[in-house]
Chains A and B, each alone.
Chain A
Amino acid sequence: MTSDLVLTGISKQFAGHRAVDNLDLTVPAGTFFALLGPSGCGKTTTLRMIAGLEEPTTGSIRLGDDEISGLRPYKRPVNTVFQNYALFPHLDIFENVAFGLKRRKVKDYQPKVEEMLGLVELKDYGKRRPAQLSGGQQQRVALARALINRPQVLLLDEPLGALDLKLRRQMQLELKRIQTEVGITFVHVTHDQEEAMTMADTIAVMNRGLIEQLGSPAELYDLPATTFVANFLGQSNLIRAKIIGQSGEDLVVDVHGRKVIVPLARCRVTEGEVWLGIRPEKVFLAPADSEDGDGSNQLRGAVVTDVSYVGVSTQYLARLPWGQELTVFEQNTGAREAFSAGDAVDLHWRPAHSFLLDAAQDALAGVEDVD
């Protein structure tokens, strides 16, 4: 009954700027799919084109074998959970949820509405008005109002943006549970990388109207394809380096005079200038000259310049001999010693935890420029 959603060559040109640029995207049926990116990256425009609220300038949108890009919104088997919910203020909760069924002249809709209100745990709220509900409850009504129509694709536009942090975490799990339960394809637009990682099976990271990378949360985090993804999903240390040779399955890289190796499979480029990337929690600190590299990469002669204790972990800044500061997260397991500012340390990491990116890309792309 559900089928893949396929976007081919989709572009959207607004007066003076191109919001979405020749985008190809396949959303497999029944998956929880996230479009992740900073504001203005084109993710909401993409969602609105799938919903039919925006007309693509070029390209086609297909749902299984059906071309839907020419259809008016009310003809599409697609429903939307709007940002800020867009609940009808003049109707009570029951009527809000029943709205789609009544428009499609579904007979005997009352039990269905009751059942759906049960699914979102709002059974006793049918007679209330949207304004009488809390943000989290309104969010669930919006979800019920869309889901009751059993759309082939459910679109969620920043659905949790208006909720406070605790409620957001709770709703993330809730949404994931409901998606698993109903088995409908969810396309979820968000700028919150944690939200996308928690819920989505597949994430497409968007930037400037293009998809930078597509994959499972773990794939994207472990092996980002661009500096933008490396910085937007979590944090990365990017060090300027140069490829100087190959040894077996590894590339040998020169980092300001020191040699480190990176597995070939983790390199986006194989020659010339590169960014050597390494996640902060994958870097270990050791007292200066205390450990020999047992196959791990090492950068010696660093000095701790800043220590922030954040409970679960400690975040260090370590200045390398050429002045660049790397971020290092150490879990506070008690198994390793803590350092203080001014300590001389060595940095080391396993080659399989690093990655190489094209040096032509901006090392600061995607760095916390999100709202």
Chain B
Amino acid sequence: MSAVGQLGAASQSAAPPPVERSGRRMTAYLLLLPGGLWLLLFFVVPLVSLLAASLYDPNGSIENGFSMTWHWQNFGTTMADYWRPFGRSLWYALLTTAFCLLLGYPLAYAIAMRAGRWKNLMLALVIAPFFTSFLIRTLSWKMLLSDNGFVVDALQWLRILGPDGRLLATTAAVVTGLTYNFLPFMVLPLYASLEKIDRRLIEAGGDLFAGPVTTFRTVTLPLSMPGVVAGTLLTFIPAAGDYINAQLLGTPKQRMIGNDIQRLFAAGAYPTAAALSVTLMAAIVVLVLIYVRRSGTEELV
């Protein structure tokens, strides 16, 4: 049995005939083809058209059409008009990421290290919200935080909120909604990287005179950094572009850049909307590059 296996392995490791090798390479390309075509059609083409739209003449309209005038000023004028929601988006996304990390790390740690036989159930509960749509969940938050809802009643009764105090239509409501919606994207990568840590490394920390807190700081946390980086990216990037939470839980004062982009597209101001989108995309790419470079995750694996 094992002799046969070895023979098989030996003949495989011997140089295969060239025909077979080129055949294998063809197979690899064939496997790439569907995904590649899909990306070309639905990612590259729209991206190019978005970039192009951001440089159209802003005086055009849907009825009369837009002409390509390489109007770079689009970026300057839109930022002059929209720097507030733009900055607000990044700020809300940052707050959301911070809250998700604060809530998600202990949760992921508990599931990975302490949950024992409850581990699978707890993971299922983390994923459970995905069984309902994003929109429905955010609408539920709207009801939950509404002025006549029991949360507001309870807080008013406890005098934490004044008699006219409200939760809905505040910055807190928008950030809470964002945090809720993106928490699983933080917890899952954190869980995956904490789960992977060899328990003996934590024991070794204790054995080498590090108390529980020091062991966490010097061993567990550094080893979970790939999860922290992945989780913060998966939270920050979509949160920065989100507009549902601001629309349902906020007021125009809590407007995020996504709301403006969506409104401008709907109103047919394609060049402006496209320029905002491109700027947001570029800003996120730059921030992510700096962040990944700074946190030095490539050394961690």
Residues of A within 8 A of B (CB): 51-53, 72-74, 78-80, 82-84, 86, 88-90, 99-100, 103-104, 145-146, 149
CB < 8 Å neighbour of B198 from A52, A73, A86, A104? A86
Main secondary structure, interface of B, reads: helix
B206 and A72: CB pair below 8 A?
A: yes
CB < 8 Å neighbour of A88 from B214, B219, B299? B219
A82/B204 contact (C-beta < 8 A), A88-B219, A100-B209, A103-B214 known: yes
CB < 8 Å neighbour of A79 from B208, B219, B225? B208
The size bracket of the interface on B is: 20 to 34
B residues near A82, Cβ cutoff 8 Å = 200, 203-204, 207
Extra A-B contacts (16), CB below 8 Å, given A51-B207, A73-B207, A103-B218: A52-B207, A73-B203, A74-B209, A74-B210, A74-B211, A80-B204, A84-B200, A86-B201, A90-B223, A90-B300, A99-B210, A103-B210, A103-B214, A145-B208, A146-B208, A149-B208
CB-CB nearest in chain A for B206: A73
A74/B223 contact (C-beta < 8 A), A86-B198, A86-B200, A86-B201 known: no
Residues of B within 8 A of A (CB): 198, 200-201, 203-211, 214-215, 218-219, 222-223, 225, 299-300
Nearest 3 interchain pairs by C-beta: A86-B200, A100-B208, A103-B209
B222 and A80: CB pair below 8 A?
A: no
Q: What CA separation (Å) do A80 and B153 show in the bound complex?
A: 58
B residues near A52, Cβ cutoff 8 Å = 206-207
B207 and A79: CB pair below 8 A?
A: yes
Q: What CA separation (Å) do A86 and B223 show in the bound complex?
A: 13
Which of B198, B204, B205, B223 has the most CB atoms of chain A within a 10 A radius of its CB?
A: B204
Between A and B, 5 residue pairs with Cβ closer than 8 Å are: A53-B206, A72-B206, A82-B203, A86-B201, A149-B208
B residues near A72, Cβ cutoff 8 Å = 206, 211
Q: What CA separation (Å) do A145 and B219 show in the bound complex?
A: 15
CB-CB nearest in chain A for B214: A103
A residues near B215, Cβ cutoff 8 Å = 74
Q: What CA separation (Å) do A100 and B218 show in the bound complex?
A: 11
Taking the nearest CB of chain B, how far is it from the CB of A138, in angstroms?
13
Q: What CA separation (Å) do A74 and B208 show in the bound complex?
A: 6
A residues near B299, Cβ cutoff 8 Å = 90
CB-CB nearest in chain B for A95: B218
A90/B222 contact (C-beta < 8 A), A82-B200, A84-B200, A103-B214 known: yes
A99 and B208: CB pair below 8 A?
A: yes
Q: What CA separation (Å) do A103 and B203 show in the bound complex?
A: 14
A residues near B203, Cβ cutoff 8 Å = 53, 73, 80, 82, 86
B204 and A88: CB pair below 8 A?
A: yes
A149 and B209: CB pair below 8 A?
A: yes
Q: What CA separation (Å) do A84 and B203 show in the bound complex?
A: 13
Q: What CA separation (Å) do A51 and B209 show in the bound complex?
A: 11
CB-CB nearest in chain B for A80: B207
B residues near A104, Cβ cutoff 8 Å = 209
Taking the nearest CB of chain B, how far is it from the CB of A213, in angstroms?
30
Q: What CA separation (Å) do A83 and B211 show in the bound complex?
A: 21
Q: What CA separation (Å) do A103 and B209 show in the bound complex?
A: 6
B residues near A80, Cβ cutoff 8 Å = 203-204, 207
B residues near A73, Cβ cutoff 8 Å = 203, 206-207
A residues near B207, Cβ cutoff 8 Å = 51-53, 73-74, 78-80, 82, 146
Q: What CA separation (Å) do A100 and B204 show in the bound complex?
A: 10
Q: What CA separation (Å) do A350 and B300 show in the bound complex?
A: 64
A residues near B211, Cβ cutoff 8 Å = 72, 74
Q: What CA separation (Å) do A135 and B222 show in the bound complex?
A: 24
CB-CB nearest in chain B for A51: B207
Q: What CA separation (Å) do A53 and B209 show in the bound complex?
A: 13
Q: What CA separation (Å) do A146 and B208 show in the bound complex?
A: 7
